[in-house]
Amino acid sequence: MNTLKKAPNRINLKRTVLSSALLSLLTMQTVHADGVTDSIENALKFGQADAKYGQIKVNLNFRYENVDTGRGSPATANAATMRLRLGYLTPVFEGLQGYAEYEGNQDIVANDYNSTRNGKTQYETIADPQQHELNQLWISYKGLPNTEIKVGRQRIDFDNLRFIGAVDWRQMQQTFDAVLVTNTSLPNTTIKVGYINKIQTISSMTKGAQIPFANINYAIKDVGNLISYAYLMDFNEAIGTAGGLTHADSNQTYGIRLDGTRIINDSLKAHYLVEYAYQKEHTQNPTHYHASYYHIIGGATAFGITAKAGMEQLDGSGAGRTFDTPLATLHIFNGWADQFLATPVNGLRDLYGSLATEIEGVKLLGVYHAFTDDTGGKDYGQELNFQVTKEFAKHYTLLAKYAYYDAAPGSIGTTYGFDAQKFWFGANVSF
């Protein structure tokens, strides 16, 4: 595999963005005072510690993102955006509870980027459009023993988000018009079943679907969680856009995973994950295919440092189709540079290792990826990721993050055949 080339020094943070970052930092330090935080919490619960009148939920997120591939066209992208989620959670009455949430994202300062909806295709893509939407609107019922029924537009997150997730990394969430039933009647077992009939995407577009699903989690003492799942995804043509999920993306996926942490002694923990899934076409998908998915992780935590090594593989298939996860939170898999949001035709094998620690309340994370086809014979490239986060008083977070993808020479001409670097700075307030 080729050696990582020196990342091009092309990130040019605008003076206004640096000013915003410094202002955010000063603001975080100011509101760190416990008295101010307690006052905000009290006000959002209408002065009642038990939230007897319900409570207001607020999530405000500033992000600056720079995407530079050095290709010249599309040009380097810069986006500074502010996203607000504002919701009201009702108190529980006779087992019933409801939630309504507005979500809006606004460009500020830097907006020379392709948001997927602003028509600025001369720039690299940063999928954070300036949009406003009803993000969630649901009612839940807990009047049956060990059961919750939730109906309406809601976020759904399963396991590590590889198959169904809310895509929290992007400014606009992915939410689902769905029925979700959660039952814990069996010992150590959580059963989630339901049906999705519409998806509201991170581009604030809606897409029709028919998706029954089941996820069963059995907790094994001192071992971990044994999970089996089935997702039957039947997608309609995208609504309001020429792109997006169509019949050709419809698939049925069945899988099993074991995910756990075992305490060895007071200073040592072992971490492990083993997962396998099988996928084939479903309903209106015109292509007959089958493909497999494998994910293995081993690691340990000692003296405040967590080290992990893993292998994730999404197979290609002779029918020209690949193992795909169209409703996943894709950014957290296969490198933060997002070069493999779609599985390459010859499949994808991701060998990776990570180191994580915390120093004086500052969390540090570094990850290395080596990408090949599903046989390991064709080199795609490699990637380095770094992240620094700091949380203040439970509700305030600062983040800095960097990704550099180094494409292998043999990948030229593909969607992942060019070097790419991305930088993010973020500040979040969440109550």
Residue pLDDT, tens place only, 15-46: 444 444 444 544 445 445 567 888 898 899 89
pLDDT for position 8 = 44
pLDDT for position 18 = 44
Write down the mean pLDDT value for the chain: 91
pLDDT at 425 over 70: yes
Torsion-angle region of residue 188: left (phi > 0), alpha (psi -120 to 50) or beta?
left
- The pair of structure tokens assigned to 141 is 């019922």
pLDDT at 317 over 80: no
- Which of the 8 DSSP states describes residue 7? P
Which residue stretches of 84-201 are H helix? none
What would the mean pLDDT of 210-216 be, rounded to a whole number? 98
Produce one character per residue of 371-386: b if its CB has 16 or more CB atoms within 10 Å, e if not.
bbbbeeebbbbbbbbe
Q: Per-residue DSSP letters for 18-48?
A: HHHHHHHHHHHHHTT-HHHHHHHHHHHTTT-
Contact assessment for residue 293 and residue 159, using Cβ atoms and an 8 Å cutoff: no
What would the mean pLDDT of 104-109 be, rounded to a whole number? 93
pLDDT at 356 over 50: yes
pLDDT for position 29 = 52
What would the mean pLDDT of 259-288 be, rounded to a whole number? 95
Angle, CA 51 vertex, CA 49 and CA 54 arms, to 5°? 155
Q: Which among 55, 116, 60 is positioned nearest to 84, based on CA atoms?
A: 60
pLDDT for position 244 = 66
pLDDT for position 299 = 98
CB atoms near residue 81 (< 10 Å): 25
Q: Which residue has the higher pLDDT, 240 or 273?
A: 273
Cα(47)–Cα(31) distance, integer angstroms: 19
Cα(367)–Cα(417) distance, integer angstroms: 20
Q: Which among 150, 157, 164 is positioned nearest to 328, based on CA atoms?
A: 164
Residue pLDDT, tens place only, 125-154: 999 999 999 999 999 999 999 999 999 999
pLDDT at 171 over 70: yes
CB atoms near residue 237 (< 10 Å): 12
pTM above 0.75, yes or no: yes
Residue pLDDT, tens place only, 320-341: 789 999 999 999 999 999 999 9
- Tallying the residues shown for the chain, one arrives at 431
pLDDT for position 318 = 66
